[in-house]
């Protein structure tokens, strides 16, 4: 309908339109919304003997579970320590893009999910990741109901042993009631595969222990005062330390 615009005279004698009054309930509103959810599950770690097992053996553990090629993503180099997939911080987001753009779409999406929910610390942890269940789109990205997962490892600063833990993740613009149950089942299978690997010693707490042996020094990044002199990474902030 045509809205009636009144006119009024100004001091100079010119007319200008007066804003009409429109009732809020008379306006037809077209709503737009998108709900995006990302989820991840991680289990307790398994202590591995460092002699027969290392991070590069993790893809072999996934041979019976993988539904796609397994990619091994090593910790970020020092020049990308501030990288994070947060669009609200352009500097960190640009570092993340520069550090991850060479990876395959599926691997890049898995890192985006895991880093967004803090399931992995890319500064000191190594990730072996693949598609565990579901399908991918023509672009190479997984569907929202596809489950990604793999193994995360880091070196225990106090003992020098490798700690390996399972992780699964999924999400996007969609939901399904059975995804959480399937993810829990896959997480159990991943943990069983780690325990069956050569070099597995036993279960280990998911919390990363603080190195306490030897001479101490301060972390140059967070000033943490209990960093072992042999440590490669700060137990508190994960900052790579120079020797």
141-156: pLDDT as tens digits? 999 999 999 999 988 7
pLDDT at residue 225 greater than cutoff 80: no
Mean pLDDT along residues 157-174: 86
Which of 52 and 179 is assigned the larger pLDDT? 179
Calculate what percentage of the chain has a pLDDT beyond 90: 47
Position 58 scores a pLDDT of: 94
Which pLDDT band, with edges at 50, 70 and 90, does 227 fall under?
A: low
Mean pLDDT along residues 85-112: 94
197 and 242 inside one domain: no
The 8 Å CB, 24+ separation contacts for 172-181 are: 172/36, 172/37, 172/38, 172/143, 172/144, 173/34, 173/35, 173/36, 173/144, 174/143, 174/144, 174/145, 175/37, 175/144, 176/145, 179/39, 179/145, 179/147, 180/39
pLDDT at residue 236 greater than cutoff 60: no
pLDDT at residue 95 greater than cutoff 50: yes
pLDDT at residue 238 greater than cutoff 80: no
Which of 70 and 227 is assigned the larger pLDDT? 70
Spatial distance between the Cα atoms of 71 and 92, rounded to a whole number of angstroms: 23
Which of 4 and 45 is assigned the larger pLDDT? 45
Pick from 224, 209, 193: nearest CA to 63: 193
Spatial distance between the Cα atoms of 226 and 224, rounded to a whole number of angstroms: 6
Spatial distance between the Cα atoms of 46 and 35, rounded to a whole number of angstroms: 35
43 and 157 inside one domain: yes
Q: The pTM is what?
A: 0.75
Which of 17 and 62 is assigned the larger pLDDT? 62
Other C-beta atoms closer than 10 Å to the C-beta of 125 total: 24
Does 112 map to a domain?
yes
Does 86 map to a domain?
yes
Which pLDDT band, with edges at 50, 70 and 90, does 100 fall under?
A: very high
The range of the structural domain enclosing residue 99 comes to 37-204
pLDDT at residue 6 greater than cutoff 70: no
Q: What is the pLDDT of residues 196-217, one digit of tens each?
A: 998 888 888 756 544 444 455 6
Does 31 map to a domain?
no
223 and 176 inside one domain: no
Does 10 map to a domain?
no
194 and 239 inside one domain: no
Which of 10 and 63 is assigned the larger pLDDT? 63
Mean pLDDT, the chain, rounded, equals: 83
pLDDT at residue 68 greater than cutoff 70: yes
131 and 219 inside one domain: no
Does 216 map to a domain?
yes
Mean pLDDT along residues 107-120: 94
Q: What is the pLDDT of residues 42-51, one digit of tens each?
A: 998 999 886 7
57 and 90 inside one domain: yes
């Amino acid at each position: 309908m045509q809205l009636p615009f009144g006119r009024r005279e100004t001091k100079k004698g010119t007319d200008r339109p007066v804003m009409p009054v429109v009732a809020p309930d008379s306006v037809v509103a077209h709503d737009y919304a998108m709900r995006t959810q990302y989820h991840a599950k991680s289990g307790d770690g398994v202590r591995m003997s460092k002699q027969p097992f290392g991070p590069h053996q993790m893809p072999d553990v996934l041979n019976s579970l993988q539904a796609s090629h397994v990619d091994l993503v090593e910790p970020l180099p020092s020049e990308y320590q501030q990288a994070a997939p947060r669009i609200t911080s352009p500097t960190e987001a640009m570092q993340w893009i520069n550090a991850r753009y060479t990876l395959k779409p599926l691997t890049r999406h898995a890192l985006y999910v895991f880093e967004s929910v803090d399931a992995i610390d890319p500064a000191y942890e190594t990730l072996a990741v693949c598609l565990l269940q579901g399908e991918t789109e023509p672009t190479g990205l997984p569907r929202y109901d596809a489950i990604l997962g793999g193994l995360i490892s880091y070196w225990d600063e106090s003992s020098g042993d490798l700690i390996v833990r399972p992780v699964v993740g999924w999400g996007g613009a969609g939901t399904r009631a059975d995804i959480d149950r399937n993810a829990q089942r896959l997480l159990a299978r991943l943990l069983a595969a780690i325990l069956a690997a050569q070099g597995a010693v036993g279960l280990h707490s998911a919390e990363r222990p603080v190195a306490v042996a030897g001479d101490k020094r301060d972390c140059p990044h967070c000033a943490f005062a209990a960093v072992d002199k042999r440590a490669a990474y700060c137990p508190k902030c994960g900052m790579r330390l120079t020797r």
